[in-house]
Amino acid sequence: MSLSMYRASVPVYIRMLTNLIAIMEKAASHCEAGKIDPSVLIDYRLYPDMFSFAKQVQIAADAAKNGTAYLVGVEAPKFGDTERSFPELIERVRKTIAYLQSFKPEQIDGSEDRQIQIKRGDKVVDYRGEDLLLNRTMPNFYFHVTTAYDILRHNGVVLGKRDYLGG
């Protein structure tokens, strides 16, 4: 049996977003124990032209939410990028997980060959469903989850591979 589009997307997103919540909870505890202002980590960038930790989390959540909506052919809910604390970022990720859990496999399976148009500014990009998932959405999702992890690890939050991959 081939791997379904649902199994290749929704459960993977949910697992990694759940891990991201645990990572952020560790970061919040790290700040509390070290008497560090959490905004130091929330606003931290690995390089001046890169996004902050908060933006990395927001984009990771959006990649999962929007990527799934594209496969289904629905409009994803819009979340304002207003989160300024670990609890707010965690809540955004939880809302994303709840949204992903609302989909059933039959809504996504069979979307491999669906033609999907995505508007980026005044440019429209065409994708096949499978290409969107495997070559755009998933790599983008993992990039931002990994960068969020790296920012925290760089700043001394005790994290390891097991935190990233989950139990």
Share of the chain above pLDDT 90, in %: 96
Would you put residue 44 in left (φ > 0), alpha (ψ -120 to 50) or beta? Answer: beta
pTM: 0.96
Q: What is the mean pLDDT of residues 56-80?
A: 97
Answer yes or no: is pLDDT of 1 > 80. Answer: no
Report the topology of domain 5-165: Four Helix Bundle (Hemerythrin (Met), subunit A) (1.20.120)
